[in-house]
Amino acid sequence: MVDVLFHAGNVMYVLAFLVRDMLWLRVLIVVAQSLLMPFYFCAESGEPCWPPLAWGSLTIGINLVQIAILLLQRNPVFLGEAELKLYRSKFRTLRVRDFMKLMAIAKWHREPESTAILRQGDIVHGLWLLTEGAAVVEVDGRRVTEIGAGEFVGEMALLTGEPASATVLARPGVEYVAWEAKDLRGLFASRPEVEGKFRAVLGADLVQKLRRVSEAAAHPSRMMDARQPRE
């Protein structure tokens, strides 16, 4: 009977290397190692072979923990109304769970009065994303344009590491999401793929802004359109 379990365990190991799904691979490894344990416990010498038993137990324990983690990760994720709207509008390229990790380090703000989100020349320690309302962008005290919901503030400084190139004044009632740069760096260090996708989102936002300004410069009649926030 012990020999049958030994062969069955090795068959399970072979099957484990054939599957692509990580969850099933770990399940098969646990089954395989469990089937091998009696063989080492009932060794031909009559005494249990402790080293393989110890390593086998460790293998089973590690894989059981990883199975639990995989099952938790595969549970459905539910987003609140505001988060769902934000995800659909800006972060569709991220996996939902990665988006939730991004939002876990974010803070939601609402400014009842006009306030400066960012001042020209300041060292930028964060990133802001308008979700409701509008903000005025000024350079050297001169109004340049106006941004609205769905647009970032401070993304250029975050990408380049340079001081803020403009002052951004939020209009009364504006709502936005804010991230601390150090928190973003911590998340990106553990999830490099999230950093790549997040930077792509920032890049797309910058391209849209530059295109709008270029069109306004080429067609003066559109200047007022460029200064209006997007819906």
pTM as predicted: 0.64
pLDDT digits (tens, 9 = 90+) for 14-51: 999 999 999 999 999 999 999 988 888 876 666 788 88
Q: Is 129 strand, coil or helix?
A: strand
Distance CA(91)–CA(65), nearest Å, equals 31
pLDDT of residue 43: 66
Top-confidence residue, 45 or 142: 142
pLDDT of residue 189: 92
* The two three-digit tokens of residue 139, written as one number: 């350079």
From 101, 159, 109, 99, select the one nearest 129 (Cα to Cα): 109
Q: Do 94 and 207 have their domain in common?
A: yes
How many domains would you assign to the chain? 2
Q: Is residue 93 part of a domain?
A: yes
pLDDT of residue 44: 66
Choose one of 56, 73, 90: the last residue of a domain: 73
Q: Do 60 and 16 have their domain in common?
A: yes
pLDDT of residue 226: 47
Pairing, β 174-180 against β 106-111: antiparallel
Distance CA(188)–CA(156), nearest Å, equals 18
* The two three-digit tokens of residue 170, written as one number: 């939020």
pLDDT digits (tens, 9 = 90+) for 126-140: 999 999 999 998 999
CATH of the domain at 208: 2.60.120.10
pLDDT of residue 19: 92
Beta-carbon neighbour count of residue 224 at 10 Å? Answer: 10
Contacting residues for 105 by C-beta, under 8 A, at least 6 apart? 179, 180, 183, 184, 186, 187
Choose one of 73, 97, 123: the last residue of a domain: 73
Distance CA(50)–CA(44), nearest Å, equals 13
Q: Do 180 and 101 have their domain in common?
A: yes
Q: Residue 160 — pLDDT band, cuts 50, 70, 90?
A: confident
pLDDT digits (tens, 9 = 90+) for 60-114: 999 999 999 888 877 777 778 888 899 998 998 888 888 999 999 999 999 999 8
Structural domain boundaries, residue 88: 81-226
Residues of the chain with pLDDT > 70, as a percent, come to 90
- Amino acid type, 104: A
